[in-house]
Structure 1
Amino acid sequence: MIDVIMKLATGYRRSVFWLLTLITLGVAAFIPSITIDTDPENMLPDNNPQRFFHNEVKETFAMHDMIVVGVVNENSVYNQQTLTDLHTVSSYAESLDGVVSDDLMSLANVDNITQEGPGTIRFEWMMKQPPENNAEARYIQQQVEDLPLLYNTIVSGDNKAAAIYVPIESKDESYALAEQLRDKISTLESGDDWHITGLPVAEDQFGFEMFVQMGISAPLAAAVIFALLWVFFRNVRFISAAMIVAMSTVLITMGALIAFGFTVHIMSSMIAIFLMPIAVVDSVHIMSEFSDRYREKGNAKDTIKDVLGHLFTPMLFTSVTSAIGFYSLMLTPIPPVQIFGAFVGSGILLAFLITVFFVPAYLCALKPSTLEGFAQATHEEHKDGWLQKLGAVAARHAKLWIAFFLAVLAFAWFGIQQININDNPVRWFKPDHEVRIADEVLNDHFAGTYNAYVVFENTLDTTEKARSAVRDALNNDALSEESRDALSALLEQEQVNFNQWIIAIDDLLFSVGSDQLEPLERLMTELEQLNTASKAFQSPELLAYMSEMQAYLQTTGLVGKSNSLSDVVKTVNRELRSGEEKDYELPDNANGVAQTLLQYQSSHRPQDLWHFVTPDYKRSLMWLQLTSGDNQHVTKVVNAVDSYIQDNPLPANIEIDWAGKAYLNVVWQEAMVEGMLDSLISAFVVVFIMMVLLFRSVVFGVLAMLPLSLTIAFIYGLIGWVGKDYDMPIAVLSSLTLGLSVDFAIHFIERTRATFKQTGNWQDTLAVMFDEPARAISHNAIVIAIGFTPLLFAPLVPYITVGVFLASIMAISAIVTLIMLPAVMTAFSRLIFRGGQS
């Protein structure tokens, strides 16, 4: 294999260069067609039941994604200037393309419900025109505080903030719409504070800033890696080989991702920054050994052939194991994570192929004088002995180090038990970002800007019962032929319309003899009962159950406020009776409920009713406002509802389910955690089998797994101890840890075995190992760790998280490899090195 590669690489150098150039440019040409996607919904497959239900609920109840615009006045928003500005911004928002203006909610767009007289109510705009003075503003305050549906929703309970809920046609337009609103707000002259938040804004703005970050982080990483390689090798021409490998790998991988039609999600946006440092790993190994051996041989072709002979197998296996670590992510049920794993894994294998063909060709193309100067310079640079001292310390205190590592493992185990699984798209921004500030300010004043929906559904199939009742009536011998024909005509209808069927039977009663009255009247009564049962959410008992659940949730402190059909009915019923608080209650019967709902439909916004109930009254939605979108918080709310239902069972034939963006985030987080665990275990087993096959030894296979096991345990234990939330970026890091930690172990063990065969003595082997091999490992660790540091300066928290933990993983993994393996090999040298002197 080595001979074939050398023949192709050195015999057809120009062809290798041109082929790499053409492939890189050809595939990279697709990059300008990039499409950004930051919608957390896409963390779940299209056919996911919860996602499907969520979208079906949005369509059924006409629920739209919303931008929340808030104004804060530390004294009170109920003043002439603030309310005038609110009216201005509200009217402007209505005029924007992409806004569902009919459903926009603000003081300027909602109804005030008051009593016109006994049994009569009046609907008028709450603030059709801005108030002309503060007295009018205070009158508006009185009206708002009298309407539970509006109070603490469009005006905060402390009266210091007011909100405009801007429903949008497409969440992809939220950033552009938010920018237009910011521009309008900037023209206002009052000193009020304005904020814009909402999950759609956070997600879309993240996408915009992510796109910018992609164009900054990867080039910065390339510059940092280039500088590091220059420090190590002090020759620009020589290190250019590694940089060309890295750049080609990144451009081809990202180009292929886009060419295949995949969108760039938060994870796939990190592909470039992941691959940039990883792609130079094999090049650094080759260059390190090449620089040592060239002084002995003095011939580039012979030297590179000798170097490849030593490094090809460990490089192949490290590339494959690293790729497996990322390919394991394809086992998760999260599409963006699957794509990320597939393309990073493929990128690592691509980097290996480019390295073994391009780097030999490139080195052989350099002038001998350039290589002589390079080899001499690097030889002088490598005379320091800190690595030899490290190896000696590891071997001299082997048992002490083993005890230390066991203690670290125990520390990690307890830390892992404390890991908190949590995520929230708003927290993807730094604390000083305008979106994060807006979220904190508005949720501090209001009942909550995060939404979750509890959907109640009547599962009773009244249509089949109605058909069955008609069929039973047909079997009655008292009915005439004409009556049978009339009833048969009803059964031929595709849908059961209770009102039409009842009217048809009522008409039939006027044309039949007295002997037919009893069965037909019995049928009509049964249909009327089924009609009432089908309109479950006109039942005072069911509405009372929902109201009691709302009251319970309010006591938990988890829900800022809840709104349901029950609140609509109570409000209208109060105004129909006396307009006083004592009549803020549900009517006594279904007819009373129906009357209140009919009255509500004469308002300026009758469509608002259908946000809470379907026209057939078979399904109803309870809107929960939450002050936090954290998964942990939403999970507690779900558990609170489950607990209430356990103590207070749902009425007969009623079921509930959940929808809303905040809830969907919980669904995909749970799927991710479970999927990540499966992928990590699967990859661990596969890598262990590969290690046993590579070394043809179970002992060496176990040795290779020790550093990565300790590194993964320590990193995740540390996450638990410091209280860092286990979110999506953290979850993905497990695959990188597995792939790259075993990389160092493979090189160390493979070179140790080869050296031991030559020396036959562990002490001499140790001295050799802590020269060039240890130097190559430390160089690679430094290159990869520092290569990720540009992420620390990103404005987006997931990028900072990845930067911090990847740098830590590389440093810890290299240190563990260079200390743990020598310590274990020293302590168990008789078992490990049979046939030689321990």
Structure 2
Amino acid sequence: MERIMKQSLLALSIKKPKWVFIITLLLTAITGAMIPGIVVDTDPENMLAEDQPARVFHNEVKDRFNLYDAIVVGAVNEESIFSPNSLQALHTLSEGIADIEGVIEPDMMSLSTVDNITQEGVGTIRFEWMMKQPPETMEQAKEIGQDVQRLPLFQETLVSGDEKAAAIYVPIENKDESYRISQEIETLIGGLDSKDEYHITGLPVAEDTFGFQMFVQMGISAPLAALMIFVLMWFFFRNLKFVAAPMIIAMATVIITMGLLIGMGFTVHIMSSMIPIFLMPIAVVDSIHIMSEFADSYKQGRDRKEVVKEVVGHLFTPMLYTSITSAIGFFSLLLTPIPPVQVFGAYVGFGILLAFLLTIVFIPAYLCALKPKALASLQSGSDKQSWLQKVLPQVGKKSLALSKLVTVGFVVIVALSLWGINQIQINDNPVRWFKEDHKIRVADRVLNDHFAGTYNAYLVLDYDQSAAKAEWMEAVNELDDSSLKKDIASIMEGGSDLGSQLNDVIITLEDRIFSASDKEMDTIDSLLAKAEETRRSLAYFQQPQMLKKIEQLQQALLDSGYVGKSNSITDVVKTVTRELKSGEPEDFVIPQSQRGVAQALLQYQSSHRPQDLWHMVTKDYSSTAIWLQLKSGDNQDMTRVVEYVENYFEDNPLPENVSAEWAGKSYLNMVWQDEMVEGMLSSLLSAFVVVFVMMIILFRSILFGALAMLPLSITILFIYGLIGWVGKDYDMPIAVLSSLTLGLSIDFAIHFLERSRDIYKQTGEFKSMIKKMFEEPASAISRNAVVIAVGFTPLLFAPLVPYITVGFFLATIMAASAVVTLILLPVALKATRRWAFKS
């Protein structure tokens, strides 16, 4: 099968080179035309499948409590934010932001848009705007500061504890508009008459800003990497016609793959944005092997077609297997539960196989189409001995001469790598996708230093209504009045919640009172009382004992140090209760009765912002959300909070009919990170096994299969050990590098071992074989490694950390795998030569 494929592809490329060029050009043009339809997506929520339980619940909670993604704008004055100038600027900015399209004005939180709650008299409270007009004097400004200090919902949220900063929470209709909205806010800030420092942060704006800059970076990094590869290949080969062919293959592979991805309706996520960067080096590897050996083999007077057949005959099998193994490394990502990672793996895998096919068809056609003069210049360039060809034979000699030292050295490296792997911390945070000095990182650092936290998570408590409903239905089923029983059953079969159903039942019963007989009146009164009792029991989070449990949980979270602050219905109830009574701190308590709680909540609904209550509790009071503010968006910090709450509930169990579940962006980031780590590990292990089996099949030898896996294994250990040594968090880009390591690290080993066996068959002697191996084959391997490793150094200057990470580790992977191949494999072959070459 392999032989038939090789002959068919060679026949096509050698006999009909023009058709090869036309087909390649058409494919590239058609798919390239699809690229302008690109849609960028940087929402980490999409790292989870749409039906993933945590994501489904998160979106359900947003709908249930009318929650929106929010941009956080902070103003900082190192003396005091409570000055007329600062508050005037804040007021002006708030009014400007409210007019921006896409901002949900009623839910915007600022000192000028929230209520001050004060006592008007015993049993009466007053709601008035905290800052309807900006203060004109310092005394007025300080009064606003004193008012804020009395309201726990605003302390450390709208105003910092040190009174040096104030925040505006800007809820937005669509998180994909957050970059645009943030730019409009920056324009408003630029027009303020204020010396205060202003900062903009929040996960939505960080993610959308990353999307914008990622789009820009895609247009810069890939061409720069291509340019660097082009320059390096010219430096090595000093022949533009030689360099042109691999570059054409690389560009065609990238354009066709990205065009297909976009044309098939996939969005470009942070992962898929890196496809060109991953494909570029892989696509040129095989081309360089063919062109390099052709340049060494072709002499004037020889038939170029015969030379092409000879070169491709040597290289077809190792190139086929390196392509398949590299593709398997990326296809293994389909085993992860992360959709963008699956798309990334599928299309990089496809691109690798496409690059192999284009290389085998296009490069021979290209060489056959070159004019004799061009071939002569190719040959003259190859006659000069490069510095690699001078150095490599010495590397081969030294590695064998110092074989024991080499072995010990690699054993030490493996041991240190294992230690480094144990130091790895699994962590990610979209804000850290920017460099330290990026304005979003600066804003994140400054505002989280001042406030309780700009990262949100929600702990949702739900009351199970099934027992109350069963008890109510039992009372209905015991009715003797079949007509009444039928009417109530019809209401209860409706699609609304139990509380709404009971409201409809109460209305129906009250209507029937007017026409009821004395006997029926007793039944209706009894049923009305039961309905009222059931409805009160459903309002579970109006019950003082449950609110006290929430209060205790909030205090425990604050004492833990893992949470900057939490806000809940208890804060509303205690604040209103205090003002209804004396206004003094001793009355900042939860009322003793459900009626007292209900009265406080009813009073709150007469404020200017009654909708704020429904962000904390559902209208039937059967579900409540505790808003947690975290100073960090790191997954590790969210994990600590989740584990702390789990342990707290073990020691302080919730009632049997109450459940607790998490929602919020910080929690979702933690979930997909955990799933990614598990998925990457399983995909890496499964791909490792598949590649090992393929190596055994390729070489028809367990020993050679194991030798081929040696550079791959050591490179993987070294790369992840290095991550642990330098203290780099195991995040999304790092996780995906496992596939790159698996795919690229074995390429050099396959070429080295396959050519070693071929040369050994010719020489029949180990030393001669090693000598020849460190001529053209080692030179081709080294050129590839240098071209790719150095070619991606432009990524180190990108403003986005994932690009820097990929650039650094991609270069390190290539360098490490080449070094292990060229230094350790000769030593391993020497130690096993009796068995390796016995036939």
Q: TM-score, normalised by structure 2?
A: 0.96
Q: Tell me the CA shift for residue 463 of structure 1.
A: 6.0
Match of 1:402 among 393, 404, 407: 407
Matches within 5 A, 1:80-95: 80-95=84-99
Q: Which residue does the alignment assign to 1:325? A: 329
1:716 maps to a residue whose letter is Y
1:8 maps to a residue whose letter is L
Alpha-carbon distance change, 513 to 635 in structure 1, aligned in 2, over 3 angstroms: same
CA-based RMSD of the aligned residues comes to: 1.6
CA distance in 2, matches of 1:60, 1:81: 40
The reply on whether 1:273 has 2:263 as its aligned counterpart is: no
Q: Tell me the CA shift for residue 506 of structure 1.
A: 6.4
Match of 2:489 among 483, 488, 491: 491
Alpha-carbon distance change, 388 to 536 in structure 1, aligned in 2, over 3 angstroms: same
The reply on whether 1:377 has 2:381 as its aligned counterpart is: yes
Identity within the alignment, %: 58
Match of 1:817 among 808, 818, 821: 821
Q: Which residue does the alignment assign to 2:738? A: 734
CA distance in 2, matches of 1:499, 1:16: 75
Q: Tell me the CA shift for residue 617 of structure 1.
A: 0.8
Equivalent pair of 1:221/1:787 in contact (CA under 8 Å): yes
Residues 27-58 of structure 1: per-residue CA shift (max 9 Å, x gap): 10011111110000000011111001101111
Q: Which residue does the alignment assign to 2:669? A: 665
Match of 1:144 among 148, 152, 176: 148
CA distance in 2, matches of 1:239, 1:106: 60
1:671 maps to a residue whose letter is E
CA distance in 1, matches of 2:551, 2:522: 40
CA distance in 2, matches of 1:521, 1:218: 77
CA distance in 2, matches of 1:505, 1:287: 90
SS across alignment from 1:623: strand
SS across alignment from 1:295: coil
Match of 1:444 among 446, 449, 453: 449
Match of 1:461 among 444, 457, 466: 466
CA distance in 2, matches of 1:509, 1:261: 62
SS across alignment from 1:385: helix
The reply on whether 1:412 has 2:417 as its aligned counterpart is: yes
Q: Tell me the CA shift for residue 18 of structure 1.
A: 1.3
CA distance in 1, matches of 2:274, 2:743: 17
Q: Tell me the CA shift for residue 684 of structure 1.
A: 0.6
Residues 753-790 of structure 1: per-residue CA shift (max 9 Å, x gap): 11111111111111011111000100111111112211
Q: Which residue does the alignment assign to 1:479? A: none
SS across alignment from 1:156: coil
The reply on whether 1:766 has 2:764 as its aligned counterpart is: no
The reply on whether 1:642 has 2:646 as its aligned counterpart is: yes
1:129 maps to a residue whose letter is Q
Equivalent pair of 2:472/2:531 in contact (CA under 8 Å): no
Matches within 5 A, 1:681-720: 681-720=685-724
Query: How many pairs were matched up?
Result: 828
Q: Which residue does the alignment assign to 1:434? A: 439
SS across alignment from 1:474: coil
SS across alignment from 1:279: helix
Q: Tell me the CA shift for residue 470 of structure 1.
A: 3.0
Q: Which residue does the alignment assign to 1:4? A: 8
The reply on whether 1:169 has 2:167 as its aligned counterpart is: no
CA distance in 1, matches of 2:297, 2:511: 105
Q: Which residue does the alignment assign to 1:478? A: none
CA distance in 1, matches of 2:402, 2:837: 19
Q: Tell me the CA shift for residue 187 of structure 1.
A: 1.1
CA distance in 1, matches of 2:212, 2:490: 56
Equivalent pair of 2:569/2:617 in contact (CA under 8 Å): yes
Equivalent pair of 2:708/2:749 in contact (CA under 8 Å): yes
The reply on whether 1:804 has 2:802 as its aligned counterpart is: no
Residues 282-307 of structure 1: per-residue CA shift (max 9 Å, x gap): 01101111111113863321111110
CA distance in 1, matches of 2:339, 2:804: 23
CA distance in 1, matches of 2:458, 2:9: 61
Q: Which residue does the alignment assign to 2:623? A: 619
CA distance in 2, matches of 1:14, 1:508: 90
CA distance in 1, matches of 2:670, 2:567: 22
Q: Tell me the CA shift for residue 806 of structure 1.
A: 0.6
Moved more, 354-363 or 410-419: 410-419
Equivalent pair of 1:462/1:530 in contact (CA under 8 Å): no
Matches within 5 A, 1:521-600: 523-600=527-604
Q: Tell me the CA shift for residue 23 of structure 1.
A: 1.1
The reply on whether 1:470 has 2:475 as its aligned counterpart is: yes
CA distance in 2, matches of 1:297, 1:831: 41
Residues 199-249 of structure 1: per-residue CA shift (max 9 Å, x gap): 010000000000000000111011101111111111001211111111111
1:486 maps to a residue whose letter is L
CA distance in 2, matches of 1:815, 1:296: 35
SS across alignment from 1:656: strand
SS across alignment from 1:726: coil
Q: Which residue does the alignment assign to 2:395? A: 390
Alpha-carbon distance change, 236 to 522 in structure 1, aligned in 2, over 3 angstroms: same
CA distance in 2, matches of 1:278, 1:593: 67
CA distance in 1, matches of 2:44, 2:638: 15
Equivalent pair of 2:472/2:534 in contact (CA under 8 Å): no
2:451 maps to a residue whose letter is F
SS across alignment from 2:392: helix
Q: Tell me the CA shift for residue 273 of structure 1.
A: 1.2
CA distance in 2, matches of 1:504, 1:241: 83
CA distance in 2, matches of 1:308, 1:338: 33
SS across alignment from 1:492: helix
Residues 681-702 of structure 1: per-residue CA shift (max 9 Å, x gap): 1111111111111111111111
Equivalent pair of 2:225/2:794 in contact (CA under 8 Å): yes
Residues 596-627 of structure 1: per-residue CA shift (max 9 Å, x gap): 11110000000000000001111100000000
SS across alignment from 2:669: helix
SS across alignment from 1:164: strand
Alpha-carbon distance change, 16 to 500 in structure 1, aligned in 2, over 3 angstroms: closer
Moved more, 349-358 or 513-522: 513-522
Matches within 5 A, 1:109-128: 109-128=113-132
Moved more, 715-724 or 136-145: 715-724
Q: Which residue does the alignment assign to 1:288? A: 292
The reply on whether 1:196 has 2:200 as its aligned counterpart is: yes
CA distance in 1, matches of 2:206, 2:350: 31
Q: Tell me the CA shift for residue 371 of structure 1.
A: 1.7
CA distance in 2, matches of 1:555, 1:153: 18
Matches within 5 A, 1:755-794: 755-794=759-798
The reply on whether 1:314 has 2:312 as its aligned counterpart is: no
The reply on whether 1:244 has 2:248 as its aligned counterpart is: yes
Match of 2:309 among 291, 301, 305: 305
CA distance in 2, matches of 1:565, 1:102: 19
Moved more, 17-26 or 296-305: 296-305
Residues 623-648 of structure 1: per-residue CA shift (max 9 Å, x gap): 00000000000110111111111110
Match of 2:833 among 813, 823, 829: 829
Q: Tell me the CA shift for residue 410 of structure 1.
A: 1.6
Match of 2:608 among 604, 622, 629: 604
Q: Which residue does the alignment assign to 1:480? A: none
- Any gaps of 5 or more consecutive residues in structure 2? none
CA distance in 2, matches of 1:503, 1:756: 95
Residues 720-765 of structure 1: per-residue CA shift (max 9 Å, x gap): 1221100000000000101111100100000001111111111111
SS across alignment from 1:46: coil
Q: Tell me the CA shift for residue 512 of structure 1.
A: 6.6
The reply on whether 1:219 has 2:233 as its aligned counterpart is: no
Equivalent pair of 2:457/2:666 in contact (CA under 8 Å): yes
1:425 maps to a residue whose letter is P
Q: Which residue does the alignment assign to 1:131? A: 135
Equivalent pair of 2:73/2:169 in contact (CA under 8 Å): yes
